[in-house]
Amino acid sequence: MKQKLKCNRIWGMMLLVGCIMLSMGTLAWSDDDEWFEHGNKHESEYGEGKHESAWQRTTGVAVVSNKLYKTECSACHFAYQPGFLPARSWVKMMSSLDDHFGENAELDATSRTAIEQYLRGHAADRQPNRFSRSMMRSIGKRETPLRISQTPYFQRKHHEVPARMVKNNPKVRSFANCASCHQGAAKGQFDEDAVRIPGFGNWED
């Protein structure tokens, strides 16, 4: 009888601990959902399907939502999502637009300030999504990269792609030309399973 009561107590304690852990996990998940529903004013930036879970909504990189930034930057190249680089990188980049990778991309003071504020507020170290977190983990705290293609995370993801498919490919020419191979780039989708390299078709690593 005593042995049975002891077993019942053990099972009861295990069940109680399990319920507590489940409750804590549920609360944490609810907090994430609440952040997206109430704290994040740019929820739609994470792509379509706003009724999905917080984890599903944050697996990509937030799409560009600032019309001024999109207009000014896409006039010359792909408008890279702010979530690719930390805020310090965007600040440094915006402070040297007179020599923007060999080109003069100067803006009037009002536009420059507005764009910089947008980039800083949506940078990789300000975004709660997995993509940006992975990017940040690959960048040293004292590093301020200006080229996305030179970050360790980017290079790790692209090291198996031969130069003949990119740099020597007249339809691509550079690893910086994201939209040429990533069909969903503008929507913040960079899934390697959906890569289509012009002239070579689907990428299979």
Which residue ranges make up each domain of the chain? 66-146, 160-205
Q: What is the DSSP letter of 200?
A: T
**Structure tokens, 33:** 């959902």
pTM greater than 0.85: no
Task: List pLDDT tens digits, range 158-191.
Answer: 999 998 999 999 999 999 999 999 989 999 988 8
Q: How far is CA 201 from the centre of its chain?
A: 25
Rounded Cα distance between 24 and 29, Å, is 9
**Structure tokens, 96:** 């040297």
Element (H, E) at 161: none
Three-state DSSP class for residue 127: coil
Task: List pLDDT tens digits, range 80-139.
Answer: 999 999 999 999 999 999 999 888 999 999 999 999 999 999 999 998 788 899 999 999
Q: How many residues does the chain have?
A: 205
Task: List pLDDT tens digits, range 14-71.
Answer: 555 454 454 444 333 333 333 333 333 333 343 333 333 443 344 578 899 999 999 9
Cβ neighbors of 139 (< 8 A, separation 6 or more) are 86, 145, 151, 152, 153
